[in-house]
A and B are shown apart, each in its own frame.
Chain A
Amino acid sequence: MTMLSGISRKTLRDQRFGLLGWAAGLILLIAMYVAMWPSIRDQPSMRTLLDQMPEALRGLFSAGGADLSTPTGYVQVELLAFMGPMLLLIYAITTGAAAIAGEEEHRTADLLLTCGVRRSDVVLHKAAALAAGVTALALVTGAALVAEGALVGMHLPAGRVAAAMLHLALLALVFGSLALAIGATFGHAGASRAIPAAVAVLAYVVNGLGQVIGWLRPVRKLSPFYQYLGHDPLRTGVSVAALLVAGVTVAALLGVAMLGVRRRDFSAQ
């Protein structure tokens, strides 16, 4: 196992400054949201503003029934609906794209893929590093929310926050695995960043508008954003069904990545 963990370990080691930067950014961002909370809580007009928004717009903010004057409602609208997933997705997609396509882009694939490690194992252990990185960032986000919130009296239930972070990590992992699969199968670093980003925007819109547009409603459940936020994890906790769907999606995408990487020619460019 040392051989295999070597790849994951190196991948994480390469990212150590990047990960620290991401973590610091998330902590600061949450501090900013937390600092604004007391003033927003005492501002009934914010609630009115949300209520007056067209339903479609409210859907996009995933603010269906969110009450901005409660800590959970505030966090849901401000952080979980958009900013949090966007940041974690950027991290996951760039990391997934770098896994195989990035090694090719930097011409290091010739080294990595000729030292006696099976290609599918390389994919698996790059995926393990991705999962570890995403988990670390989700943990930091959750811990910062609970700890920083407590400082200003914005008390959040730790268990529910953990559930939301679990679903958030899986959401990021779905798109990170998609980037990894595209990179492993086609070796194109640009495409393996751009396509998952575009799919994520689409999935986000489908989930948001699916709440109000009738014909989108059945499609909505296919959106990874629905698996993430559809059951309102800050209020209801973990949804096993959503976990399963996201888990199976990740597994399927990694399967595609392993098959794709094994079939490919790595020719000199």
Chain B
Amino acid sequence: MVRFDRTTPVRAPLAHQLPDGRVSGKARARPAVQLRGVTKFFGSTRALADVDITIDSGEVFGYLGPNGAGKSTTLRLIMGLIRPTRGSAEVLGLDCWRQAAAAQQLIGYVPGEPALYRKLTGQQHIEYLSALRRIACLPRAEQLARRLDLDLSRRAEALSKGNKQKLAIVLAMMHDPRLLVLDEPSTGLDPFARDALLGLIRSHAEHGGTVLLSSHVLDEVQRIADRVGIVRAGRLIAAERLGELRATSLHHVNARLGEPVDPAEFTGIGGILDVWISGVEVRMKAPQASLDAVLGRLIRHRIEDLSCTEADLEETFRTFYGGTDDHVERHQP
């Protein structure tokens, strides 16, 4: 039985320099995931276009985008389920298509939709996959099931959507893979299970493991990811450190003031959009980075009412990464 040690040699003596100038203590010699110019066509429909992603070992990479943008396609490609039309995908130096089986040994995958055998119990799933992976996973699986509060003695068909998802997570993590590829892993989970999942992801990364998780919920990714890639219409339109993304997250600011205001008061604030002022009413959209400046101008007046809500990711995307593309894959969940 072969088990892979999680620790890979650190590039010595120079540590890896991050784009923001910090030096990462988790830097590893070989990227955990490397996509180079990956393009995927389904027939004449382009699902992915020239996607380049490099994820270092120990990194948690959030993969964000609206439904149908190509998130699942990217993840399935890394899992060796589909072949890139052009470009290449590698996991820890192994080609995801040509060396799929070897690469898969290093990966734990939660598919976009739980893939379970209806008639098998959780326990039987664990036994079957342990046999296929040739790794005795039961103790670790039971530990994970306890963390997620999952009953392993029930058949998959008798499980609720959330419990099916929990089982999929147990099956993905039970062999201590070096890379987790999670396609919207918190779908259907209650808040407690969601927290437990985030805890598991965090501890996986703390032990040097790598995580690639897709989501359309910014909040979840904000809590966990080191870096975020945004995909839209099959193109990776941004891969930023989380702080940078947060600064762009759009907020709706609505205020009713004690006296009429002059629109000129809000000039010079970076990034604000759709400013609408009518007498004492003020409405605008502002990225998080500009909220301080907006509020600074507002409090020059007496504030009778104020609300500030974060726009959903879709709107942030539309605003900052705008544009439409008709060649979007429509039904890849």
What residues of chain A have their CB less than 8 Å away from a CB belonging to chain B? Answer: 2-3, 6-7, 10, 14, 106-119, 263, 265-268
Q: A3-B134, A6-B128, A114-B109 are in contact. Are A267 and B101 (CB under 8 A)?
A: no
Q: How far is B126's CA from A10's CA once the two chains are assembled, in angstroms?
A: 13
Interface of B toward A, CB cutoff 8 Å: 42, 72-73, 76, 79-83, 100-102, 104-105, 107, 109, 111-113, 115-119, 128-129, 131-134, 171, 332-333
Q: Given the known A-B contacts A113-B81, A114-B107, are A106 and B133 also in contact in the complex, defined by CB atoms under 8 Å?
A: no
List, in ascending order, chain A residues with CB within 8 A of B76's CB: 266-268
Give Cα A17 to B289, complex, Å: 64
Instruction: Return chain A residues, CB-CB under 8 Å to B82.
Output: 265-267
Extra contacts, 7 of them, besides A111-B116, A116-B101, A265-B81 (Cβ < 8 A), are A3-B131, A7-B132, A108-B115, A110-B111, A114-B104, A114-B109, A268-B113
Sampled A-B contacts (10; CB under 8 Å): A3-B134, A10-B128, A110-B109, A110-B113, A110-B115, A112-B132, A117-B101, A265-B82, A266-B82, A268-B111
Contact (Cβ within 8 A) B104 A115: yes
Give the distance in Å from the alpha carbon of A110 to the alpha carbon of B81 in the complex. 8
Instruction: Give the docked Cα–Cα distance between A112 and B116 (Å).
Output: 9
Q: Is the CB of A6 within 8 A of B81?
A: no
Contact A111 B111 (CB under 8 A): yes
A237 to B117, CA, bound (A): 43
Q: Closest CB of chain A to B286's CB: distance in Å?
A: 37
Is the Cβ of A116 less than 8 Å from the Cβ of B131?
no
Contact check, A267 vs B134: say whether CB atoms are below 8 A apart: no
CB pair B42 A107 closer than 8 Å? no
CB of A6 within 8 A of CB of B333, answer: no
Beta-carbon nearest neighbor of B42 in chain A: A267
Q: How far is the CA of A112 from the CA of B107 in the complex (A)?
A: 14
Q: Measured between C-beta atoms, what is the minimum distance from A124 to chain B in Å?
A: 13
List the A side residues contacting B81 at CB < 8 Å: 110, 113-114, 265-267
Note all chain B residues with C-beta closer than 8 A to A3. Answer: 131-134
Report how far A2 CA is from B134 CA in the complex, Å: 8
- Considering the chains assembled together, what is the distance between the CA atoms of A10 and B132 in angstroms? 11
A34 shortest CB reach to chain B, Å: 36
Which of A6, A108, A265 is B83 in contact with, Cβ under 8 Å? A265
Q: Which residues of A contact B113 (CB under 8 A)?
A: 107, 110, 268
Instruction: Output the residue of B100, B115, B129 with the most chain A CB within 10 A.
Output: B115
Tell me the complex Cα distance, A210–B117, Å: 46
B104 CB → nearest A CB, Å: 4
Most buried by A among B100, B112, B113, B132: B132
Asked if A268 and B72 sit within 8 Å, CB to CB, the answer is: yes
Query: Is B132 touching A115 in the complex (CB atoms < 8 A)?
Result: yes
- Chain A nearest CB, measured from B229 CB (Å): 20
**Whole-angstrom CA separation of A108 from B73 in the bound complex:** 17
A115 CB contact (under 8 Å) in B72, B116, B129: B129
Which residue of the partner chain A has the closest CB to B131? A6
Q: Is the CB of A107 within 8 A of B101?
A: no
Nearest CB in chain A: distance from B96 CB, A: 11
Chain A residues contacting B72 (CB-CB under 8 Å) are 268
B7 to chain A, nearest CB (A): 21
Chain B nearest CB, measured from A119 CB (Å):
8
A113-B115 Cα distance, complex, nearest whole Å: 11
Q: Is the CB of B133 within 8 A of A107?
A: no
Q: Which residues of A are found within 8 Å of B128, using beta-carbon distances?
A: 6, 10
A247–B208 Cα gap in the complex (Å)? 51
Min C-beta distance of B50 to chain A, whole Å = 19
B103 CB to nearest A CB, Å: 8
Q: Is there contact, CB below 8 Å, between A116 and B105?
A: yes
Question: What is the CA–CA distance of A266 and B81 in the complex, to the nearest angstrom?
Answer: 5
How many Å lie between the Cα of A96 and that of B118 in the bound state? 20
Contact (Cβ within 8 A) B102 A106: no
With A110-B111, A267-B82, A268-B333 known to touch, is A117 a contact of B132 (CB < 8 Å)? yes
